[in-house]
Structure 1
Amino acid sequence: MKLTVGEVSKLFDISVRTLHYYDEINLLNPSEKKENGYRYYTDEDLVLLQEIIFYKDLMLPLKDIKYILKQEKRDKVDILNKHKKIL
């Protein structure tokens, strides 16, 4: 299934501008961009967005979230444990 920016915005209760910004900083890029500028998100994109929102709820900065997303699962656990100690 492919969802538009507006549909994802409503589904996750975040602004369209936030999704555009995530695309600009290469945090969350839609799987498909049409010539007319429309962005389409797949189920895989939505899983990634859910992970981003989870990290934001932990009050991690976007640059740290971007770093974490690139790590292997075991490394993510270590990073989150360090963050937990800081909190």
Structure 2
Amino acid sequence: MQHAIHEPSTCFRIVGGADIVVAAVCRPELIKGAWIKSGAVVIGAGYNPGNIGDVEYDTAAQRVHLITPVPGGVAPPPSPSCSTKPSQQP
């Protein structure tokens, strides 16, 4: 789904049909809670400043069976894969 983040209608269609959603796009609340299928499992692996995940947590939590907490669900924040600054090489 990496290319779907640029087209919300595609993202909506893919997420809406999934039993398991793994969000790791590092864009705050890109995945809307209303898009997620009722009873799905959501694993939030993206981190954004302010402890905001990629999934609209409060809305999603009302619909899903299980959801990982933000922060602390998958990896300790901040995740190096979501860094917005280029790494410094010695």
Which TM bucket (shorter chain)?
under 0.3
State the TM-score, normalizing by the size of structure 1: 0.24
Structure with more helix by fraction: 1
TM-score, normalised to structure 2, is 0.24
Bigger Rg, structure 1 or 2 = 1
